[in-house]
Amino acid sequence: MMGFFERLREGLTKTRKGFVEKVELIFAGRKIDEETLGELEETLITSDVGPGAAAEIIAVIREEADKGKIKDTDDVKELLKKKMVSILGYSQPIVVYGDRPFVILAVGVNGVGKTTTIGKLASRFRSQGLSVLLAAADTFRAAAIEQLEIWAKRADAQFVKHQSGSDPAAVAFDAIVAAQHRGVDVVIVDTAGRLHTKSPLMEELKKVKRVIEKAMPDAPQEILLVVDATTGQNALRQAEMFDRAIGITGITLTKLNGTAKGGIIFAIKKGLNIPVRLIGVGEGIDDLRDFNPEEFVEALFS
> CA–CA separation, 302 vs 122, rounded Å?
32
Q: Of 59, 88, 117, which residue is a domain's last?
A: 88
Residue 8 lies in a domain: yes
**How high is the pLDDT of residue 68?**
86
Q: What does the pLDDT profile of the chain (302 residues) look like in tens digits?
A: 567 778 888 878 887 887 888 888 888 888 888 998 999 999 888 888 888 889 999 999 999 988 888 888 888 889 999 999 999 999 999 999 999 999 999 999 888 889 999 999 999 999 999 999 999 999 887 788 999 999 999 999 999 999 888 899 999 999 999 999 999 999 999 998 875 555 588 899 999 999 999 999 999 999 999 998 888 788 888 899 999 999 999 999 988 776 667 788 888 888 889 999 999 877 777 778 899 999 989 988 88
CB 49 within 8 A of CB 23: no
Residues 45 and 179 in one domain: no
Residues 108 and 80 in one domain: no
Residues 213 and 66 in one domain: no
Residues 125 and 268 in one domain: yes
Residues 56 and 114 in one domain: no
Residue 248 lies in a domain: yes
**Domain around 49:** 4-88
CATH code, 211: 3.40.50.300
Q: Are strands 288-290 and 276-280 parallel, antiparallel or unpaired?
A: antiparallel
**How high is the pLDDT of residue 221?**
97
Query: Based on the structure, what is the number of domains in the chain?
Result: 2
> CA–CA separation, 278 vs 224, rounded Å?
10
Q: Of 24, 54, 88, which residue is a domain's last?
A: 88
- Per-residue model confidence as pLDDT tens digits over 143-175: 889 999 999 999 999 999 998 888 999 999 999
CB 144 within 8 A of CB 168: no
Residue 51 lies in a domain: yes
Which residues share a beta bridge with 276?
A: 251
Q: Of 88, 120, 136, which residue is a domain's last?
A: 88
Residue 301 lies in a domain: no
Residue 173 lies in a domain: yes
Rounded to two decimals, what is the model's pTM? 0.91
**How high is the pLDDT of residue 1?**
53
Residues 31 and 112 in one domain: no
The one-letter code for the residue type at 288 is L
Residue 298 lies in a domain: no
Residues 146 and 172 in one domain: yes
Residues 192 and 46 in one domain: no
**How high is the pLDDT of residue 259?**
62
CATH code, 54: 1.20.120.140
The candidate with the shortest Cα–Cα distance to 177, out of 200, 160, 194, 193, is 160
Residue 206 lies in a domain: yes
The dihedral sign for the CA sequence 136, 140, 143, 144 = negative
**How high is the pLDDT of residue 302?**
80
**How high is the pLDDT of residue 260?**
64
Residue 253: phi, psi to the nearest 5? -105, 110
Residues 83 and 9 in one domain: yes
Residues 58 and 110 in one domain: no
Residues 118 and 80 in one domain: no
> CA–CA separation, 302 vs 300, rounded Å?
6
Residues 226 and 77 in one domain: no
Residue 300 lies in a domain: no
